[in-house]
Structure 1
């Protein structure tokens, strides 16, 4: 047991917990003085999130354990050309700021599912909650697994114990302070990430065990084989567009003081996200060029667990002890800043879109807050169990974006920018088509076999960009079905009794504006 490391991580945890509890007291004072609802204060920080704090909490949320550990893992295993998370997630924030931040903030929504529920009704909105929740749990599980791996290598404690303790700390301050605690602890955590990683780079780079890092001597660039071009392009698209439909992102966007602040927060956060990824890239290059036998590492990186642990191994064997402890603080900070965001955002969607809008429309403000607290506990428990079974952080980062890319992104894009060209019938069939094509394509990470083997399929790997195909087909189907059903019910005046989704309350009207009405009975 590394007692020095254990004491240091204990101090760090107490600091984060203290900031979170202090922010909780600030929230309680806001609640006492606020004319807004209790839920708005807890879930959206009274829509008074300052631009500076907002940018830092946005950046900290995206610079997660799967982000920094996965970046080093990608370069070490495949080369820098395959290191897509920094570029993909940074562009996700920028594209999200351009396309979605301002329109959603202008309408005063609480969650990203609100426009979908307004357009398609409560039940369809509840259905779309399922892939959103699944992705959040995958994301939290990947981040907690990254922390457990790091603590196990550097502090030499049981990985599962590290995951459980970290989950409990996160749970405590999220319950106590809501978005206020999450935002202000994110600021502290982002500073720790930058300090820990930047300090580690020169020590690791100049370690005697690290050879010549010139590309001619150490192949840290990697190659993209012709059959893998489809995988490469789709992986980048998946991270960009699959990195947008996340409540953790929209919770910060919708908590800003103005629509312009919402857009600025996204654009600047995307640039900072890429900047913070730079030391991770450098550490990945160092890992690729190190002589691990000379460094004293007993393993040979033949198992997924070893490759997954490459960042903490770099910190442990290529830097002095005090630097490795700073790096440990950086990884811990990155993980907790993303885990707390995921827990709160998924709980917010449940309380707002399932508990209030779907199950109990007359629920009081206090009941919504209590539902949020209960779901925080449940999500934390499920994510903790998920974290104990993660085998690859890089793979998990892709899988997280997978579901939202195929299922949620087409829905959100159409309802925000092409509202008059879609309705519930099209949305429902597009949901089923996207889900079906994704499942039939298989997923090795969870042992799901490929029922459909697309072109260039080999060795259990789909090299054809079938996810992007599913996105495009879903958009086409949604618009086509919406146009057809609109024509049938409005022009042909099919009887109202056949309108099972209550999409056309007045089938005798020829106005297309009825498609934008909120269907409270749907």
Structure 2
């Protein structure tokens, strides 16, 4: 395929603009470091806690509207075996942000934490916190791989560029401005990226409908002779799998550091809640163009396009349906805008994920365990090196995966099964202790691993009711992820209660308290972090 030179020039210009904005924001970050009461590393990780609501909504929305969200939603709607009813991203993320605003934003922001792992460190100590970092880090790396794979496939189709080259260049741009400016660079580039995504994708919609290869998509809802029905069907035998994946996206997202990076950067708990509620609406709206593109692609007569027959699904290219639809069903200049929107979505998510992992490692491992006397300059460089390493790891895994939707789901598996129940307990259950947390962690992790994962080549050792085997690959249709999550949650609650009961009634000798949980009450437990006077004023003004 020949390289689309005008399109390539347009994308290069877009990348340069993003890079310039990122560098400008990094200079703003340095100015804030001189005037902010917080530390230099805190400015990098949570923006000095003075990110306003509008910027917060933009950056939170842009983080979730990534390549996986845009391409995965279109793929689900287009695929004959799925359809609109399986496009769970928009409703799931709507629920995610509403729950985040109602139950998680206030307790996290009011105690002025820096990362999602801080409450674990205060309650359980350093060792367990370091253990929790591992599934969070794996999930972030898989997320980076997911969104880069989405971009690589899109650029190779529309611009004629090598997928590998596209992945490397895009990753390099994101890593550079995140490396330089931290949260400020991430937040201000997200504004431009999200605006570009919104305008370019909605601009493509009228041209898709006007394409001679696209009949009236509303007719395919009831008349399948005209093409594939894009509404889809949810059979009773598939209900367990659908429920599992919906809850994975809706609840699993509550345990991502990327979410709390925005919550903790807000000026007050009230502003953090408002940011979540506003993002719930904007994320849902941003998913609508992908749904329409998937429906149009399912309805289109591909024989009337240069793509020809067989259609993309039969060629195993359902994961690339969005760029294929833009390439063959819209004018060339619009398809270039489309690739720009995917590139923007990828970078807006990738920079957030890079900073999230770097923040957790620096704050909860390096600063508290490895180098307690580390200077602010040293911590700042640890964040930068961590950004680089996570970016390289995710880039290395981005090559060769065909289904963006599958990789998108797998990236949240460990978060949902292992970290989400732990976070619920540490924030809302005062009786949770280290014994319950460790038990819940082990049970959740074991159940998820033993359930298998076809995408990673892990065969299941536990076969739940309703499992199916196709071409030697076993798929679980029982909600096994949710079962693992609930088992972990129940273990944390029950073991914590039983152990506390045993020690308090002297049924278990205090000499057996190997973790020192009941020797003395830790000061951090239940203790409110003092709020500075200026922040009290912000909270008061917000209430008024």
Whether TM exceeds 0.5 here: the answer is yes
Q: Deviations over 1:375-410 (max 9, x none)?
A: 111001000011113221111121122111110110
Q: Deviations over 1:2-42 (max 9, x none)?
A: 10111000000000001000001111111233332101111
1:307 corresponding residue in structure 2: 318
In 2, Cα distance between equivalents of 1:514 and 1:35: 22
Paired residue for 2:42, among 29, 35, 40?
A: 40
Would you say the 8 A contact 2:4–2:160 is kept in 1?
A: yes
Paired residue for 1:81, among 81, 85, 95?
A: 85
1:513 CA drift (Å):
9.0
In 1, Cα distance between equivalents of 2:390 and 2:315: 26
2:488 corresponding residue in structure 1: 474
2:497 corresponding residue in structure 1: 483
In 2, Cα distance between equivalents of 1:336 and 1:90: 22
2:464 corresponding residue in structure 1: 454
1:497 CA drift (Å):
4.2
1:367 paired to 2:373? no
2:477 corresponding residue in structure 1: 463
Aligned residue pairs: how many? Answer: 513
1:273-352 aligned within 5 A: 273-298=283-308, 300-302=311-313, 306-352=317-363
2:541 corresponding residue in structure 1: none
In 2, Cα distance between equivalents of 1:303 and 1:359: 52
> Hey, which bits of structure 1, 4+ residues long, moved more than 3 A?
302-305, 493-497, 511-518
1:149 paired to 2:153? yes
1:496 CA drift (Å):
4.5
Would you say the 8 A contact 2:180–2:384 is kept in 1?
A: no
For structure 2, the 5+ residue unaligned runs are 529-544
Would you say the 8 A contact 1:305–1:392 is kept in 2?
A: no
* Aligned-residue CA RMSD (Å): 1.7
For structure 1, the 5+ residue unaligned runs are none
Pick which of 218-227 and 175-184 moved more: 218-227
1:301 CA drift (Å):
2.5
Paired residue for 2:441, among 422, 428, 431?
A: 431
1:259 paired to 2:269? yes
1:411 corresponding residue in structure 2: 422
2:408 corresponding residue in structure 1: 397
1:361 CA drift (Å):
2.3
1:197 corresponding residue in structure 2: 201
2:392 corresponding residue in structure 1: 381
In 1, Cα distance between equivalents of 2:46 and 2:522: 34
In 2, Cα distance between equivalents of 1:69 and 1:335: 10
Would you say the 8 A contact 2:26–2:185 is kept in 1?
A: yes
Q: Deviations over 1:199-219 (max 9, x none)?
A: 001101110011231112341
2:214 corresponding residue in structure 1: 210
SS at match of 2:317: helix
1:49 corresponding residue in structure 2: 51
1:493 CA drift (Å):
7.0
Would you say the 8 A contact 1:119–1:517 is kept in 2?
A: no
1:168 corresponding residue in structure 2: 172
1:73 to 1:36, Cα distance in 2 relative to 1, 3 A: same
TM-score, normalised to structure 2, is 0.92
In 2, Cα distance between equivalents of 1:266 and 1:245: 14
2:102 corresponding residue in structure 1: 98
1:309 to 1:122, Cα distance in 2 relative to 1, 3 A: same
Pick which of 442-451 and 480-489 moved more: 480-489
1:187 corresponding residue in structure 2: 191
In 2, Cα distance between equivalents of 1:313 and 1:467: 33
In 2, Cα distance between equivalents of 1:515 and 1:261: 25
1:517 CA drift (Å):
7.9
Would you say the 8 A contact 1:456–1:464 is kept in 2?
A: yes
1:354 corresponding residue in structure 2: 365
Q: Deviations over 1:68-115 (max 9, x none)?
A: 000100001121011111111221111111110111000000001111
1:442 to 1:319, Cα distance in 2 relative to 1, 3 A: same
Pick which of 312-321 and 208-217 moved more: 208-217
In 2, Cα distance between equivalents of 1:493 and 1:463: 43
SS at match of 2:402: coil
1:235 corresponding residue in structure 2: 245
SS at match of 1:210: coil
In 1, Cα distance between equivalents of 2:437 and 2:527: 15
Would you say the 8 A contact 2:257–2:356 is kept in 1?
A: yes
In 1, Cα distance between equivalents of 2:69 and 2:365: 30
1:505 corresponding residue in structure 2: 519
1:13 corresponding residue in structure 2: 15
Would you say the 8 A contact 1:304–1:392 is kept in 2?
A: no
